[in-house]
Structure 1
Amino acid sequence: MATITKRRWSNKSGEHEAWVLAWTDATGKRHKRQFDKKRDAEAHRTEVTHQVAVGTFRADASSTTVDDAVTSYLKLLTERRDRGEHVTEHYLRTVEGQLRNYVAPTEEHRAKQPEKTRIIFDGHIGPVKLSQCTAKVVSDFRDRLRTAGVGVVTTRRILGSLSRALQNAVEADLMAVNPAANIRVTGKRGEGSKKVVPPSKLDLARTLAEAKGGLAVRMRLSASAGVRASELYFLRWKHVSFNTGELTVDGRVDAYKNADTTKSVAGIRTVPLSSAMLNDLRAWRAAAKNKEADDLIFPNSRGGFMDHKNILTREYRPLIKAVSAKAKEEGKLYKAFNWHALRHFAISTWIEAGLQPKTVQTFAGHSSLAVTMSRYGHLFPSDSHRNVMDQISSSIFGDGAQMAHDEQDAV
């Protein structure tokens, strides 16, 4: 039973009054809370009465905020990283950015960001008490993100991090249910589509013709085996089987040059290599200073992991700029492409060669066939799809009807 009583008192500043809400939770513990206005006390009485009745009341939820939950979750991730429990520096910083840029910003976090890239989002929910953090609050937060121009994919990631932070609060018994668990993010038709357009064979050939040394080898391997840049720099000679002509991918290098697991379990894969690519790697190994099984195939000058940002700045972008200038001077068409497009090119050639979608998914290391089809489905030959439909229709039109008639006669 929750009751509201009026309290009056006086002091040197004059007469005062307040409304005191008192109630007992499911464990028999008494609680009190004071309000300046009666309507606020009545509103909170309705809320706690319902929470006690359905068993979702948590005493600390009225004083703990979303910001507190975020802080606790980031502390947990930091401890797990320090213990080496599958939390990398890259993952920790990514989640921290999502939560501190959008969910519960702090001046300390903003001060650490470069002014040019600093994110200012005023629609956050950091001050919201956990007792008031409902699905409606989270869905409204989602809508403010979308209104502010945050994309579908980014919004999903932000809500995913928020959901994990609130789930941590649930496990700490600070709240009974996770209000972000089932919040969906939908966009306009076509928004967030990841269908890709790979570079043309001619544009790639012109680019490779101007590439030299290790850059050329790395580009050819990326464009034939479909490895991501992060996976490329992780490769060691033991990952190449010259006898069977295969490349094994089982790790990557994160943005902070730390060894990491692949993006998903499906990312661990074996990809066949062409004879030309194997010969290219043989020649590269023969000229390498370090060529033992555990040595990196593409080390930096100190034998460690390469820095992809540095490669882009010092080698790749100047190459693309030079090829573009040369094509323009010769009056030829040339469409520049980024490094990741080399992976798109590899996957597009597998599709062109007639590999089945499931095989393409396996070689690409996609987490699901749905990912493969959402990005590359438009590249699969439509004629093959039509042939399949023609085969299916034979059981419906003409031949199918004749088969049924023949079976009836046989009976």
Structure 2
Amino acid sequence: MTSIRKRSWVAPDGSEKTGWQVDYVDQAGNRRRKQFTRKKEADAWLTTAAYQVTQGTHTPDSQTITIAKAADLWIKRGQREKLEASTLAAYDQHVRLHIVPMCGDRKLSQITRPMAEGWRDQLMDKLSRPMAMRVLRSLAAIVNEAMGRGYVAQNVVAGVKVRRAKREKPKVIIPTKAELKAILEAAKASTEPMAHPLALIAIFAGLRASELRGLPWRCIDLKAGTVTVEQRADLKNIIGPPKSEAGYRTIPLPDSAITALKAWKLACPASDDGLVFPSIAHKVMSHQYMNGKVMAAVQIAANCHHMVTRDDGKPMLDKHEQPVMVPRYTLHDFRHAAASLWIEQRVNPKRVQKWMGHGSIQVTFDTYGHLFDQADQDSAVAAAIERELIG
């Protein structure tokens, strides 16, 4: 039985107050009450609540928590599960800078689909589309965590999406073959002995930067000519398992890489973790040093760089009065280069997925689908020319 009745009372300051009280029975058979200032609000709420009770998705306000509290529970679960430090830092940023200021004081039971759609619009207005998507996914994950704990019966945020505009689909940056050749030649001539084997593995095996930094010698099979990924180093230089189950993989290496690795193994400093590319201190090399020092120097030597300019368009100079140069590519761009080389050689998409360590073939096609299309077109062109000349 449900009812709405007007009630009056005297406030502590002696003033008379009136309100509208909703009496209803929830799906568990418990009697509940909720009070509103206006009857119109009470009517609207009861209509929604009555439907939720019939669907088994109603949660009384007294049995729920705020989004801020739910976010805290979500972050703590990630800490217990020992998620990557960079992942936890990103989640914490989403919560502190965007979610809590926007809706942290709102109780989970009070969230409606229109409300969640409005939050999506707010995020889109002040953030880039990719960041808005990430924050919205975090909000949905927060509500999902609370739902699993019984603080809310449904997750209305899960159905709210940020549509990716096709024209905004990010394109991967891939070094040209001429640039890759120049980089390998510069790496071979570098005074940094690890530069050449590092460039070879980055370009031919497509390992992530974290996987290169955490790569141990036991995972290099010099006889079979393969590199196996079974661990990585996070942003805090802590060795751990790969990014996902798909991260465990074995990738073939060309003879040039094996030859360079054999020579480097004789000169490589020993480290506690038996790393292929240890730091000067014989520990895990930082991402900044590997990407911004070793590979940056190689690219600058190979003329794969940009000159930094000031606001007035003039070159920015360093302390030696020389123009400041920055590398054109990151370690991740060499990962794309590896995929493009495999695809050009007609490697099966599933094998490309495996070697790249992608969790699904969809990720591979979303990232490199245009390259597969180009490879198919090139093959068709060759076949057409053959038909014309040979028959």
The verdict on a shared fold, with TM-score over 0.5 as the criterion, is: yes
How far is 1:96 from its partner?
A: 1.9
Take 1:267 and 1:39, find their aligned partners in 2: how far apart are those partners? Answer: 56
Aligned CA distance change for structure 1 residues 351 and 126 (closer, same or farther; 3 Å): same
1:302 partnered with 2:287: no
Distance 1:33 1:135 in 2: 21
- Structure 1 runs of 4+ off > 6 angstroms? 325-328, 387-390
Instruction: Give the 5 Å matches for 1:169-248.
Output: 169-193=146-170, 195-211=171-187, 212=190, 213-248=193-228
Q: Between the two proteins, what is the percent identity of the paired residues?
A: 29
What SS does the aligned partner of 2:57 have? Answer: coil
Match of 1:158 in 2: 135
Task: Give the corresponding residue for 2:343.
Answer: 351
What's the RMSD between the two structures over aligned residues? 3.0
In the aligned structure 1, how far is the partner of 2:168 from the partner of 2:25? 50
Give the conservation status (yes or no) of the 8 Å contact 1:203–1:335: no
In the alignment, what sits opposite 1:282? 262
- 1:352-367 matches, within 5 Å, as 352-367=344-359
Alpha carbons of structure 1 residues 350 and 51: separation in structure 2 relative to 1, 3 Å: closer
Matches within 5 A, 1:362-381: 362-380=354-372, 381=375
Instruction: Assess if the C-alpha contact under 8 Å between 2:343 and 2:371 holds in 1.
Output: yes
- Match for 1:104 among 100, 103, 111? 100
1:130 equivalent in structure 2: 108
Please state if 1:168 is matched with 2:145: yes
Cα separation, 1, equivalents of 2:64 and 2:38: 19
Q: CA offsets per residue over residues 100-145 of structure 1, 9 Å max, x none?
A: 332224xxxxxxxxxxxxxxxxxx2223221221233223322332
Q: Deviations over 1:307-326 (max 9, x none)?
A: 10233333433544454499
Q: Which amino acid aligns with 1:155?
A: A
TM-superposed CA distance for 1:300, in Å, is: 1.3
Partner of 1:402: none
Q: Residue in 1 aligned with 2:292?
A: 313
Q: What is the CA–CA distance in structure 2 between the aligned matches of 1:167 and 1:389, rounded to whole Å?
A: 53
Deviation string for 1:364-402 (max 9, x for gaps)? 222222222222232232346648999xxxxxxxxxxxx
Structure 2 residue runs without a partner (length 5+): 308-325, 385-391
Mapped partners of 1:243, 1:376: distance in 2 = 31
User: What is the total number of aligned residue pairs between the two structures?
Assistant: 359
Q: How does the TM-score come out when normalised to structure 2?
A: 0.81
Superimposed CA distance per residue, residues 191-236 of structure 1 (whole angstroms, 9 cap, x where no aligned partner): 233x424211222233333332223321221011111111101111
Decide whether aligned partners of structure 1 residues 176 and 88 sit closer, same or farther in structure 2, where only a CA change above 3 A counts: same
Distance between the aligned counterparts of 2:9 and 2:271, measured in 1?
A: 85
The answer to whether structure 1 residue 141 and structure 2 residue 110 are counterparts is no
Q: What one-letter code is carried by the residue in structure 1 that aligns with 2:339?
A: I
Which amino acid counterpart does residue 350 of structure 2 have in structure 1?
A: K
Instruction: Return the alpha-carbon distance in structure 2 between the equivalents of residues 291 and 276 of structure 1.
Output: 25
The alpha-carbon deviation at position 90 of structure 1 amounts to 2.8
| Offset from partner CA, 1:323-361 (integer Å, 9 cap, x none) | 449999xxxxx9932222211222222222232222222
Q: Which residue matches 1:406?
A: none
Structure 2 counterpart of 1:202, which letter? A
Alignment TM-score, normalising by the size of structure 1: 0.78
Structure 1 distance, partners of 2:121, 2:13, is 48
